[in-house]
Amino acid sequence: MSLISSKVVAITGASSGIGEATARVLARRGASVVLGARRTDRLEQIADDIRDTGGTAATCAVDVTRLDDVQRLVERAVSELGRLDVFVSNAGISKIGPLSDLDVAGWSAMIDVNLRGVLHGIAAALPVFQRQGHGHFVTTVSVAGLRITPGMGVYAATKNAVRTVLETLRLESTDGAVRTTSISPGFVSTELDGTIDDPALRAEIRRNMDDFGLAPDGVAEAIAFAIDQPAEVEIGDLTIRPTVQG
């Protein structure tokens, strides 16, 4: 039997892309999912689909830059489903462009969502995990932090900062109660390009996504693999990219 069955999983950025795919994959395997994002109409549609096929799903309006929103997501899981086993931090934005653009607002937005949003997830879920004696943080990072690319300096910096935070949390949690997993996707066909302001750069990223980007389900399966391990096994890092990506 899958160890995913009966787990309670909260997911941010769950209204599309990797977050949506993760919710659907985990629900098909018996997990109860609590979906968080800003687009509540889209969340309700996904939750209805899951319920229509016999799954368990709840929704919560979440802006990950607001700690109280993320805390409410965790509280929803605990109050309605009795506990929280896994917290998937997936919300992210990509305000990419050359540093010479001096897009201070875009830099701040990426720091707020990509880094502060993950920290808010830890702040909200860690007390629950410690109280329960178990829990698992799964976080969508990016290959952008593994291979430095012009135009992605601050975006990659936020992702590498998240890697540092998760590795620190792992080292502080070697009693076995809390597991951490970083998922680093390459090009995946999602809506992330919609957060890029520069039209030419946005078109280039969209073209790459369409030409060879992975389906979000591929990343969702990797997330499921990490979750579906015995309690004493921690999958620390997984890199998932198209075979043709350089």
Tell me the CATH number at 24.
3.40.50.720
Number of domains in the chain: 1
CA distance 213 to 246: 12
Does residue 2 lie in a domain region?
no
* 155 given a catalytic annotation: yes
What is the domain range of residue 43?
8-240
Does residue 171 lie in a domain region?
yes
Does residue 122 lie in a domain region?
yes
pTM of the model: 0.93
pLDDT value, residue 11: 98
Does residue 104 lie in a domain region?
yes
pLDDT value, residue 201: 80
Does residue 245 lie in a domain region?
no
Strand order through the sheet with 8-12: 56-61, 32-37, 8-12, 86-89, 135-140, 178-185, 237-240
CA distance 83 to 171: 24
Does residue 160 lie in a domain region?
yes
Does residue 3 lie in a domain region?
no
Annotated catalytic residue within 107, 129, 137, 155? 155
Can you give the pLDDT of all 246 residues of the chain as single tens digits? 689 998 999 999 999 999 999 999 999 999 999 999 999 999 999 999 999 999 999 999 999 999 999 999 999 999 999 999 999 999 999 998 999 999 999 999 999 999 999 999 999 999 999 999 999 999 999 999 888 889 899 999 999 999 999 999 999 998 888 999 999 999 898 877 778 888 888 888 888 788 888 899 999 999 999 999 999 999 999 999 998 887
Does residue 159 lie in a domain region?
yes
